[in-house]
Copies of this chain bind each other. A is one copy, B any other.
Amino acid sequence: MQCTTSISKMIEWQQAMKTSQQTIGFVPTMGFLHEGHAALIKEAKKNNDCVAVSIFVNPTQFGPGEDFEAYPRNLDADVRLVSQAGADIVFCPEAEEMYPTDGGIRIVPGPLADRLCGASRPGHFDGVLKVVLKLVNIVQPDTVYFGMKDAQQLAIIETFFQDYNCPAAIVRVPTVRELDGLAKSSRNVNLSDEERNEAPAIYEALQQAEVLVREGIAIEVVTQFVEETLRKKTSGAVDYVSILTYPQLELPNEISQDLIVACAVQFSKARLIDNIIFKREG
C-alpha cells in the first residue's frame, strides 16, 4: 500500500488509475480508525478496482471550544488498519497542504444544517462540505463511501452532490456497533469507564423509539420519551433528540415514510451521536 502526504502525489496516483481504466473507491476519514471505517474500506474494495483512503483531522469542521486538539490520533495504527482492510493508497495531508490559502469562499448548507448537530455546531457542515469537495476534487473517485452514523453529514453531502452534479456516486454504509450496541466511534476512547457503561443506553433508547413510532405513538411523545430515558440512564447532557424525515430532515407528517430518529449526548470529554433510519409503514 502506498502512503502520501502530498496532493500532487495523490493526483498522480488517481490519474494513473484512470489512464489504466481502473475504477476508484474513496473513503474519507478523520483517522483513529475502527471497524466502522474498515467496513467502508472493504465495501469500497469489493466494488472498485482500487481504493483510496484519506486520513485528515479537518480543522475547519471544528468550532471554537470543540475537541479538535483532543480528537484522538494514531497514524501508525490507522495505516495498519487501512492496509489490512485492502486499501491501495492512503492520503494523510498536513493542514498546511490542504489549506495553503483561504480566499474566504464558503459552501453554506442552508436549512439542512439548521437541525440536529447543525443547530449546536454552527459552521461545522461548511467545513465538512469544503473538505469533502476538496478531497473529491483531488482523488476524483467513481464512488465515495460514508457511514450512516453521521446521518446529517450524509444527507447534506448527498444533497450537495445531487444539486451540484458532482460526478462521484455515494454509497451509504450501515453503522458498525460494539457487541452491546454502542455505535463505533473514534470518540469512544474519550469516555470514562462509567460513561462507557452508560453509553449503550443511547442505541437502546433509539430502538425503543423506532418501535413506538411504528406503533403509532405521536412523534413528540416518542421524542420526549427518548430524552427522559437518556437523562435517566446516562450522566451526559442530552444535546438533542429529533425524529425527522430522511434525507430531507423535515418535520414528519402523517404520510412520511423514511424517518430518522437521531440524538447527540455530550459526555465529559466526548460528544456521541447515533441514529436509526427506518421506513414507517403507510
Enumerate A5-40 residues with CB–CB distance to B below 8 Å. Answer: 7, 11, 18
4 closest pairs, A vs B, by CB?
A104-B110, A103-B159, A137-B165, A134-B165
A163 at the interface (CB under 8 A from B): yes
**Interface flags, A105-126, vs B, CB<8A=1, else 0:** 1111111100000000000000
Q: Give the nearest-CB partner of A133 in chain B.
A: B164
**Cβ–Cβ contact B110 & A106, under 8 A:** yes
**Cβ–Cβ contact A107 & B107, under 8 A:** yes
Enumerate A75-121 residues with CB–CB distance to B below 8 Å. Answer: 101-112
Nearest-Cβ distance from residue A248 to partner chain B, whole angstroms: 8
A156 at the interface (CB under 8 A from B): yes
**Cβ–Cβ contact A107 & B110, under 8 A:** no
Which residues on B sit within 8 Å (CB–CB) of A130? Answer: 164
Nearest-Cβ distance from residue A13 to partner chain B, whole angstroms: 14
A167 at the interface (CB under 8 A from B): yes
Q: How many residues of A contact B (CB 8 A)?
A: 31
**Cβ–Cβ contact B107 & A103, under 8 A:** no
A162 at the interface (CB under 8 A from B): yes
**Cβ–Cβ contact B134 & A164, under 8 A:** yes
A11–B168 alpha-carbon span in the complex (Å): 13
11 extra A-B contacts, CB within 8 A, seeds A101-B159, A103-B160, A105-B109: A101-B162, A105-B110, A105-B156, A105-B160, A133-B164, A134-B164, A134-B165, A137-B165, A137-B166, A137-B167, A140-B167
Q: Give the nearest-CB partner of A109 in chain B.
A: B105
A162–B101 alpha-carbon span in the complex (Å): 8
A140–B129 alpha-carbon span in the complex (Å): 20
A154 at the interface (CB under 8 A from B): no
Q: Give the nearest-CB partner of A103 in chain B.
A: B159
Q: Give the nearest-CB partner of A112 in chain B.
A: B103
9 CB-based A-B contacts, threshold 8 Å: A101-B162, A103-B159, A104-B111, A105-B109, A105-B110, A105-B129, A105-B163, A108-B108, A138-B165
Contact of A105 among B104, B108, B138 (CB under 8 A): B108
**Cβ–Cβ contact B105 & A105, under 8 A:** no
Which residues on B sit within 8 Å (CB–CB) of A134? Answer: 164-165
**Cβ–Cβ contact A106 & B108, under 8 A:** yes
